[in-house]
Amino acid sequence: MSIDAVSQQIKTATSVAVLTGAGVSAESGIPTFRDPGGLWQQYRPEDLATPQAFQRDPRLVWEWYDWRRQKIAQASPNPAHHTLAHMEGLVPEFLLITQNIDDLHGTAGSRRLIELHGCIWRVRCEREGTVHENREVPLKTLPPRCDCGSLLRPDVVWFGEPLAVETQAQAFAAAEVSDVFLTVGTSAIVHPAASLPIVAKDRGAFVAEINPAPTPITPYVDSYLQGPAGVILPQILSMVTQR
Ligand code: BV8
C-alpha cells in the first residue's frame, strides 16, 4: 500500500488515532532507546527506568534523566511533530497518543494529545505525591528534593508501574473507534502501548506503520511505509490536503 492509499484513508476518515514512539523525535536529535547507540545501549532498562532502580540509586537515575533533559532542551520539533499537530485539525475526531516524555508534540502545537508514559518536565514528590513542572537545565542538585525534604522523582511511568487509568482508558477507547490508526516511530515492544494498533486492527481500523525498520507488528498492518517519519508524514499531509 502506498502513501497515496494511506492519504485516501485519512481523507475519508471520521476518527484517526496515532501512536508515536521515540522514533518521531530521532530527527530532532534525541537518541531512541533501542536503535544502535540508543539510550538503552549505554544502560539496561532495569538499571534506570524502574522504581527499584530509583530506590537503589536515585542519583544515578537522576543523572540519566538530567542528561536527557539537557538534550531535549536543545531539541526542536521536526516535520513529523509539526505534521501531526496540523493533522489534528483535518479530521473530526483525532487523538495523538505518545509514549514519548519529551513534550515535543506539545511544543509543536498538538493539543489532542495524551502522554502514556508521563513527561520529563514534570517532577513528583515521593512523599506528598504532588506534581510540579520543573524545567531547570541542568538541575542544580541531584537528586532534587521537594520543599518538604523528600526526594523528587521524574513524573514518568517506569517498568512495572501502571499507566494512569484515565490515560490508558482514553488511548484504548480511541484505538477501538478509529477508522485509521497510525503507528509511528515505535519498536512496538513496550506494553500496553504496543497493543493499541492490534486493538485498532481487530476493531476494523485501517492500520499503517511508519518506521525505517520493520517491527513485530509490521506483519499485521494494512500498510507499512518504510522510512523516516519526518519525510513520510509531510508527504501524507500534502496528499491529504490536496483538493
Ligand atoms: C505495566 C519510561 C502493569 C519513561 C518507559 C511481556 C508482555 C507484555 C508486557 C510486559 C511483558 N513483560 C513485561 C511487561 C511489562 C512492561 C513491558 O512492556 N516490557 C517490555 C520491555 C516487554 N511494561 C510495563 O512495565 C508498563 N507497565 O505493564 O504495568 C501493572 C499493572 C498494575 C500494577 C502494576 C503494574 C510500563 C511501560 C512504560 C515503561 N517506561 N519509559 C522514559 O524514561 O522514557 S518505556 C520506554 O520504551 C519509553 O517510554 C519509550 O517510549 C518506550 C517504547 O520505546 P519506543 O518509543 O518504541 O522507542 P524504541 O527506541 O524502542 O524504538 C524506536 C523506533 O523508532 C524503532 O523502531 C526505530 O526503527 C524507529 N525510528 C528510528 N528513527 C526513526 C524511527 N521511526 C520513524 N522515523 C525515524 N526517523
Task: Give residue-wise pLDDT tens across range 4-13.
Answer: 999 999 999 9
**Is 225 touching ligand 1 by the criterion CB < 6 Å?**
no
pLDDT in tens, 157-186: 999 999 999 999 999 999 999 999 999 999
Q: Tell me whether residue 117 is one of the annotated catalytic residues.
A: yes
Residue 37 predicted with pLDDT over 90: no
Predicted pLDDT at 75: 98
Radius of gyration from C-alpha coordinates of the chain: 18
Predicted pLDDT at 38: 76
Mean pLDDT along residues 95-120: 98
Residues forming a β-bridge with 16: 94, 180
pLDDT band at residue 42 under the 50/70/90 scheme: confident
Distance in Å, CA 190 to ligand 1 centroid: 3
**Is 97 touching ligand 1 by the criterion CB < 6 Å?**
no
Mean pLDDT of the chain: 95
Distance in Å, CA 128 to ligand 1 centroid: 27
Distance in Å, CA 8 to ligand 1 centroid: 30
Catalytic residue among 82, 117, 132, 191: 117
Predicted pLDDT at 28: 98
d(CA 180, CA 201): 9
CB 144 within 8 A of CB 62: yes
pLDDT in tens, 78-95: 999 999 999 999 999 999
Q: Which residues contact 169 (CB under 8 A, 6 or more apart)?
A: none
Mean pLDDT along residues 223-230: 98
Predicted pLDDT at 46: 67
**Is 228 touching ligand 1 by the criterion CB < 6 Å?**
yes
Kindly give the number of the ligand 1 atom that is closest to the alpha carbon of 40.
60
Atom 43 of ligand 1, residue of closest alpha carbon: 49
Mean pLDDT along residues 30-41: 80
Predicted pLDDT at 1: 61
Q: Which domains does the chain have, with CATH numbers?
A: 3-30+77-117+163-240 (3.40.50.1220), 45-74+125-156 (3.30.1600.10)
Atom 69 of ligand 1, residue of closest alpha carbon: 213
CB 99 within 8 A of CB 20: yes
d(CA 209, CA 190): 16
Atom 64 of ligand 1, residue of closest alpha carbon: 186
